[in-house]
Amino acid sequence: MCPGLTSEGARMDEELPSGTIVGVFAEGKEHALAIGLTKMSTGDIVI
């Protein structure tokens, strides 16, 4: 598992390939904290 997805409330709601533009959100926040580009697929990150 990648650092940052170790908290109890962390989740990824969709299966995305590497190279996808994503928003990074935090619990209790309305807007994205960051916008980024995935280097790994979500399947690879969660494993």
The tens digit of pLDDT for each residue in 1-47 reads: 566 577 787 788 788 999 999 998 888 899 999 999 999 988 888 76
Query: What is the tally of helices (H) and strands (E) in the chain?
Result: 1, 2
The pLDDT value recorded for residue 28 is 86
Indicate left, alpha or beta for 2 from its phi (over 0: left) and psi (-120 to 50: alpha).
Answer: beta
